[in-house]
Amino acid sequence: MNRRAIALLLTLGIFLLVLPEVANAYVLSVATLILFFAYTGQAWNVMMGFCGQLSLGHSLYVGIGAYAAAGLFFHYGIGPWAGVWLAIALCVAMGAAIGFLAFRFSISGVYFALLTIAFAEFTRIGFDHIDWLGGPAGLFIKVAQRDKMDLLDFRGPPAMYYYAALALTAGAFVFCFFLLQSRAGYYWQAIRENEEAAQALGINTFRWKMLAVGISSAMTAVAGVFFAFYYNNLFPEQIFNISRSIEIILGPIIGGVGTLFGPVLGAAVLTLLADGITELLAAMGWEIPGIKQVFYGVVLLLVIMFLPHGIWPALAKRLGISR
Amino acid sequence: MNFLEVEGISKSFRGLKAVANATFDVPSGAIVALIGPNGAGKTTCFNVIAGVFAPDSGKVIFKDKEIQGIRPDQVCAAGIGRTFQIVKPFAGLSVLDNVIVGALQRERSVASARVFSLSLLKKLKLDAKTDLPASSLTLPDRKRLEVARALATRPALLLLDEAMAGLRPTECDEMVGVFRDLNRADGLTILLIEHVMRAVMALAQKVVVLHHGEIIASGTPAEVVRDAAVLECYLGEETEV
């Protein structure tokens, strides 16, 4: 991380801090969405970008995290500050189960990805049958009053959610920065690049892969809690849907897998473009369902064709920033 | 007692006996070469010692402890470092970071691992290329990196799988010098698989010859090259070509 990178971060940080002062409600909601995807993308990146373990089922952790905190709040009035710990515990347990099955029995690559999809899918179906959490009809928590701020229960105006998302994204960025400099970062990248060689150098690959899954699932659990209290309604069909998982991973892939800026940049590019195009079409009087997905597909195709390592590595080179 | 003892190990793959009842030992501080024609079972032998495969039968005893069947990372932790015949660099990482990964096996912090890694890269004449991605290295440099990375784990025994293959004679002599220096100055014990006889003759105090998974000869380099069975297996192979 050189001077230019720090300057860029500072500029970005100041811009994001003052944004709610100047932005209208719509812009703020888009910015919150970008930060949400930047954060979840960063969480996914720990597993795939750092450690090379492809998860296509990260909606699982968003969903479990969201339902855990929302359920506690809905039934017992227990706020998210307590709920988030249950969310993390459940998601880490789930991640550990997937990781154990896969790494113990040497399931890797696309087969590992399939396993993550399978877990997300059967959890989705399972949640359809949990009446306590609303089943397919959904779970609704009381909508926040926009003018009153209740930090304890995480209910408040949009700006509060925006700043919460900003804090998560910034925290994840710094956390991942230090992870990469640590023993774990070196070991994960070694495993990503060549697992056999990593093992020959004394790395207990099972243990370090499990750690990557644990950290990634715990981070994503927090995103789930945020999601629940921001949107106030949860449906298994939506939150566990594979398209959610895809949305999470598109940001880091387009921004640059394994880089720190990639997930943030990718989330911004995708959300802005997708929202922009939806707005543009609406302004022209066209409402085409699914146009966002088509657009995602096209952007992904272009990035893979022209920037196979994502936008950030190419941009970083231009800006004179290393990685 | 010996430093490394391989006692009657056998390993088959789908009925094909890759190694059959091989027994040899490596004394502490020695350089021992494992030679033999292609397909003789040398690499399989290495992989059994390094923990990649558990042997079907037999024992591997390192410093009085049986190590056959334990995982490769445990073998490394026990003090055995290895290189791969087909080099396996961490292509996306820098040359320095490649070595740091190995150094972290014994070093407590990344900072101290970095210092140690830089000294190793200097020893292997890669110090001008520390920041380059490993993927940009030429084959001889990759071989050197492979060695630096294995040395970074501070092994007591180093297993070299064809570390000289593909090197030019001068480069080969340079590597021989590096290994001899490591052996004499640092007391590193080395077991090497090698086809380059120039290196074998220059380095090894003892040579073990494998053919069809069995040990057919063992002794000093001078003895082995005069051995009738060894000559036959090598000449036999040459006429096939």
**What are A's interface residues with B at a Cβ cutoff of 8 A?**
181-183, 186-187, 189-190, 192-194, 196-205, 258
The domains of chain A are located at 3-319
Distance from CA of B92 to the nearest CA of A (A): 7
Cβ(A236)–Cβ(A63) under 8 Å?
yes
pLDDT at site B236:
65
Distance from CA of A108 to the nearest CA of B (A): 18
Against a cut of 0.90, is the pTM above it?
yes
Distance from CA of A151 to the nearest CA of B (A): 40
Which residues of chain A carry a pLDDT beneath 50? none
> Do B66 and B91 lie in a common domain?
no
pLDDT at site B241:
47
Q: Which residues of B touch A199 (CB under 8 A)?
A: 71-73, 76
Distance from CA of B196 to the nearest CA of A (A): 24
What are the tens digits of pLDDT across the range A88-119? 999 999 999 999 999 999 888 899 999 999 99
Return the HEC string of chain A: CCHHHHHHHHHHHHHHHHHHHHCCHHHHHHHHHHHHHHHHHHHHHHHHHHCCCCCCCCHHHHHHHHHHHHHHHHHHCCCHHHHHHHHHHHHHHHHHHHHHHHHHCCCCCHHHHHHHHHHHHHHHHHHCCCHHHCHHHCEECCCCCCCCCECCCCECCHHHHHHHHHHHHHHHHHHHHHHHHCHHHHHHHHHHHCHHHHHHCCCCHHHHHHHHHHHHHHHHHHHHHHHHHHHCEECHHHHCCHHHHHHHHHHHHHHCCCCCCHHHHHHHHHHHHHHHHHHHHHHCCCCCCCHHHHHHHHHHHHHHHHCCCCHHHHHHHHHCCCC
In which band, very low, low, confident or very high, does the pLDDT at B32 lie, cut at 50, 70 and 90?
very high
Cβ–Cβ below 8 Å for A192 and B92? yes
Q: Which of A181, A182, A197 sits opposite B90 (nearest CB)?
A: A197
Average pLDDT over every residue of B33-59: 93
Residue finishing a domain among B107, B130, B153 = B153
> Do B72 and B121 lie in a common domain?
no
Check if B97 contacts A (Cβ < 8 Å): yes
> Do B185 and B139 lie in a common domain?
no
Cβ–Cβ below 8 Å for A203 and B92? no
> Do B66 and B12 lie in a common domain?
yes
Q: Which residues of B touch A193 (CB under 8 A)?
A: 89-93
- Rounded Cα distance, A42 and A263, in Å: 5
Distance from CA of B208 to the nearest CA of A (A): 24
In which band, very low, low, confident or very high, does the pLDDT at B141 lie, cut at 50, 70 and 90?
very high
pLDDT at site A211:
98
Q: Which of B82, B90, B110 sits opposite A194 (nearest CB)?
A: B90
Count other C-beta atoms under 10 Å from residue B22's C-beta.
25
Distance from CA of B228 to the nearest CA of A (A): 37
> How long a stretch of residues is chain A?
323
- B31-35 and B206-211 beta bridge pairing: parallel
Residue B228: give its domain's CATH number: 3.40.50.300
Q: Which residues of B touch A104 (CB under 8 A)?
A: none
Q: Which of residues 162-201 of B touch A (CB under 8 A)?
A: none
- Rounded Cα distance, B132 and B150, in Å: 19
Residue B62 has phi, psi (to 5 degrees) of -120, 120
Q: Which of A201, A204, A258 sits opposite B101 (nearest CB)?
A: A201
Interface probe for B, chosen from A51, A193, A322 (most Cβ of B below 10 Å), is: A193
Distance from CA of A21 to the nearest CA of B (A): 42
Q: Which of A189, A202, A258 sits opposite B105 (nearest CB)?
A: A202
> Do B160 and B147 lie in a common domain?
no
Cβ(A72)–Cβ(A46) under 8 Å?
no
Cβ–Cβ below 8 Å for B90 and A182? no
Range of the domain at B65: 4-79+155-240
> Can you say how many angstroms the Cα of residue A218 is from the centroid of all Cα atoms in its chain?
11
What are the tens digits of pLDDT across the range B84-94? 999 999 999 99
* Encoded tokens for A133: 């959490």
Residue finishing a domain among B97, B119, B153 = B153
Q: Which residues of A touch B93 (CB under 8 A)?
A: 189-190, 193
Count other C-beta atoms under 10 Å from residue B167's C-beta.
20
Distance from CA of B52 to the nearest CA of A (A): 9
Q: Which residues of B touch A187 (CB under 8 A)?
A: 101, 104
Check if B24 contacts A (Cβ < 8 Å): no
pLDDT at site A275:
82
Count of domains for chain B: 2
> Do B148 and B100 lie in a common domain?
yes
Mean pLDDT, chain B, whole residue set: 91
Cβ(A71)–Cβ(A134) under 8 Å?
no
pLDDT at site B237:
53
Q: Which residues of B touch A182 (CB under 8 A)?
A: 110
Cβ–Cβ below 8 Å for A198 and B101? yes
**How far is residue A249 from each of residues A48, A183, A318, B11, measured CA to CA in Å?**
9, 25, 25, 44
**Domain A3-319, CATH 1.10.3430 — does that match?**
no
Torsion of CA A209, B44, B54, B70, to 10 degrees: -50
> Do B107 and B72 lie in a common domain?
no
Average pLDDT over every residue of B36-53: 92
> Do B169 and B73 lie in a common domain?
yes
pLDDT at site A144:
65
> Do B113 and B55 lie in a common domain?
no
Q: Which residues of B touch A192 (CB under 8 A)?
A: 92
Cβ–Cβ below 8 Å for B88 and A187? no
pLDDT at site A323:
53
Tell me the CA end-to-end span of chain B in Å, nearest whole number.
Answer: 42
Burial class (CB in 10 A: 0-12, 13-18, 19+), A110: exposed
Nearest CA in chain B to A180: B110
Check if B94 contacts A (Cβ < 8 Å): no
Cβ–Cβ below 8 Å for A200 and B76? yes
Residue finishing a domain among B131, B153, B175 = B153
Q: Which residues of A touch B50 (CB under 8 A)?
A: 200
> Do B221 and B103 lie in a common domain?
no
Cβ(B99)–Cβ(B145) under 8 Å?
yes
- Rounded Cα distance, B138 and B126, in Å: 11
> Do B129 and B203 lie in a common domain?
no
pLDDT exceeds cutoff 60 at B205: yes
Distance from CA of B105 to the nearest CA of A (A): 6
